[in-house]
A = this chain, B = another copy of it.
Amino acid sequence: MSSQDVQRPVCIIGLGLIGGSLLRDLVASKHAVYGYNHSTSGARSAIKAGYDVTDDLQAILTRAEADNALIVIATPMKAVASVLDEIQQHAPSCGITDVVSVKTEVRDLFLERGMESRYVGGHPMAGTQNSGWDHSQTKLFKRAAWAITYDYAAECEARGERIPKKWIETFSDVVRMTQMVHAEAVPVRVANHDAAVARISHLPHVFAETLAVVGDNGGILAQSLAAGSFKDGTRVAGTTPELVRQMCETNAPALVDALDEALQLLQDARDSLAAEQPSVAELAENGFRARTRIEARSGARKESVSPVKISSRPVLRLHPGGPNWVAQLRQSESLGGRIEIF
């Protein structure tokens, strides 16, 4: 174990697409990691493939407590509350993170139980329209942003309180874990996270569903003529409705705001297309400019002379617990930057 590795075993609760892929990556880098899956068939598949996996939640939490493991909650949102209750009982001192796609609702569950000092939220911006252990894979997180929340530290600081060393260790280990799977750690507070993902993840899902329905209403001829723009635009409508509902319904206030913005733009475009001189100039020009900016800023790019892709997210190296480190997190957040720790 190098100083860049998570400094303790990792215990993953829930082995779907995200939890399963995390397990595979950590095993591939020879880190101590074990997992639990609720579905016995999923657990059996994972065991058969040689992974250290069980369908006994109490047993795995008892083991995590004995190991001082970092617990990763990778269940659907609706299971988080009951998992937290089990953790309180069987793993009362482990640090905890999660990978759920909304952060306010998860944090509220920790606050209700007085568990916030054990919690560092997480959300890897990776995935496909598929779900479940069978679709999990190595390298899913490569170069993906992995949002890491730090509200607890910011609130301690605002109250003039010292941030507990244990929380700082959990935060550091979550960052290290994301680096072990080649993701990029992006610090963000839960409200800002939820507002951002409403725009760039939940609204795209609502749009894809809508486009699929309108296309389908056109009947078999329309579908026969459908090509790239329609297929790309509806891809994530292939996500199971259950997952879409959990993402969107648990982030409803932020998503309603994003939808209201979108509805206004669409209504304006509709009205100017219905005018005597039909026009979609404003939307087409603003959309093109927006897309151009986004392409220039986001994701990995190649340097002109090197074949190595580098991240376009600005990087900030910081020492958790060091002077001014929470201010550094805020600065990085405002830039959508990634952090590395030393």
Contacts and interface: CB of A to CB of B under 8 A. Distances in A.
A49 interface: no
A223 interface: yes
- This chain: how many copies in the complex? 2
A273 B291 contact: no
Contacts of A182: none
A252 interface: yes
Nearest to A252: B278
A210 interface: yes
A274 interface: yes
Interface string A256-291: 101111110111011001100011110111111111
25 contacts: A188-B221, A196-B225, A200-B229, A207-B211, A208-B229, A208-B287, A209-B287, A210-B269, A212-B288, A213-B287, A221-B333, A223-B293, A223-B294, A224-B336, A225-B336, A226-B298, A241-B287, A241-B288, A244-B288, A249-B280, A252-B274, A259-B266, A259-B273, A262-B266, A263-B270
Interface stretch (A4-12, A32-40, A89-97, A230-238): A230-238
Contact of A212 (B193, B241, B274, B294): B294
Interface of A: 125-128, 144-145, 147, 186, 188, 192-193, 195-197, 199-201, 203-241, 244-245, 248-249, 252, 255-256, 258-263, 265-267, 269-270, 273-274, 278-281, 283-295, 297-299, 313, 333-337
Given A210-B266, A266-B263, A274-B256, A337 B287 contact: no
